């Protein structure tokens, strides 16, 4: 667990040019606090303490402005830059080395109890304000531009051009 905490801190230092030192990152990066809080809530969720997991995740949301459902599955070295307004739904799957910016939604389009949130591949970057909606897959290494609305699969290593801001 300690190794994972240091991995997260080092990841933030590597990805955010404004990060000056480990202490600052550990104490003042809400995206990191939200991920750490998610891990506690996810542990509780998997241990069948679902109500406690939801209560705790709501507290983390109130403190950080970032909502990650405890049922979501998130990989290693996940980094949320700035963070405010990020929402990650219950059945979302996020791979390793993913970076998202503020106001991103990984949301649903249905009310079913099946898989209804996106699957995000390894190494994906999702720009500010993007909405990735439904049971779709964003391939490894893809780049989703800011303010995009993505409702269909995106191939691996796709780099969205600024002129195609909306993928429908």
pLDDT grade for 158, boundaries at 50, 70 and 90 = confident
Chain-wide mean pLDDT for the chain?
A: 94
Reply yes or no on whether the pLDDT at 74 is more than 80.
yes
Give the H/E segment covering residue 93.
strand 93-94
Q: What angle separates helix 2-15 from helix 30-46, to the nearest 10 degrees?
A: 140
Higher pLDDT, 41 or 157: 41
pLDDT at 161: 56
Kindly state the tokens that stand for 4.
Answer: 């994972």
């Amino acid at each position: 667990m300690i190794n994972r905490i240091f991995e997260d801190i080092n990841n933030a230092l590597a990805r955010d040019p404004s990060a000056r030192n480990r202490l600052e990152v550990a104490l003042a990066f809400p995206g990191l606090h939200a991920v750490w809080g998610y891990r506690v809530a996810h542990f509780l969720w998997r241990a069948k303490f679902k109500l406690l997991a939801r209560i705790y995740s709501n507290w983390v949301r109130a403190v950080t402005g970032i909502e990650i459902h405890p049922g979501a599955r998130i990989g290693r070295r996940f980094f949320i830059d700035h963070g405010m307004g990020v929402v990650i739904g219950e059945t979302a799957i996020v791979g390793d080395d993913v970076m998202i910016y503020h106001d991103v939604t990984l949301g649903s389009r249905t009310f079913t109890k099946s898989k209804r949130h996106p699957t995000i591949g390894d190494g994906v970057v999702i720009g500010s304000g993007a909405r990735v909606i439904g049971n779709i897959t964003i391939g490894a290494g893809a780049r989703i531009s800011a303010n995009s609305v993505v409702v269909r699969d995106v191939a691996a290593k796709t780099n969205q051009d600024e002129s195609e801001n909306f993928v429908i």
